[in-house]
């Protein structure tokens, strides 16, 4: 089985190392390849039918050539999935009207539904 590891500068690499490996280093072995790019689609092409990788759910949810592996019987779209990362909105104070409008939508029930449907 081929194992593809993302470059150390990748946020996905860092989060996987922190949450899944508990800060430990990734294994090295003849079947483990360090990909220098942090792009999911080309990486999936390299994996072929005999490989494994880690990615954000948004990167693979619509990919037809991959299977998402459940963790503790939960898939990434479930509320009890153990590996999630918090993302934040950052903006310059005072916020412009466009920023206020966006934040109003993003935090509304309609915006929350739209984001959940995407992920």
A 10 A CB-CB count for 53 gives: 21
**Rounded CA gap, 60 and 117, in Å?**
14
What confidence tens digit (pLDDT) does each residue in 86-112 have? Answer: 778 999 999 999 999 999 999 999 988
Q: What pLDDT is stored for residue 119 in this prediction?
A: 46
Helix (H) or strand (E) holding 41, with range, is helix 40-47
- Counting other chains too, the contacts that 56-59 makes at CB distance below 8 Å and 24 or more residues apart are 56/12, 57/119, 58/118, 58/119
- Pairwise CA distance, residues 58 & 110, whole Å: 19
What residues does each domain of the chain span? 2-60, 86-119
Global confidence as pTM: 0.67
User: In 3-state terms, what secondary structure has residue 32?
Assistant: strand
């Amino acid at each position: 089985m081929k194992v593809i590891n993302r470059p150390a500068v990748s946020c996905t690499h860092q989060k996987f190392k922190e949450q899944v490996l508990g800060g430990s280093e990734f294994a090295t072995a003849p079947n483990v390849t360090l990909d220098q790019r942090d792009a999911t689609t080309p990486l999936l092409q390299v994996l072929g039918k005999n490989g494994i990788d880690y990615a954000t759910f948004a990167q693979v949810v619509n990919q037809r050539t991959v299977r998402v592996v459940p963790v503790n019987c939960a898939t990434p779209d479930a509320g009890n999935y153990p590996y999630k990362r918090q993302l934040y909105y950052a903006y310059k104070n005072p916020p412009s009207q466009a920023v206020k409008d966006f934040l109003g939508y993003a935090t509304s029930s309609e915006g929350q539904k739209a984001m959940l449907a995407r992920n």
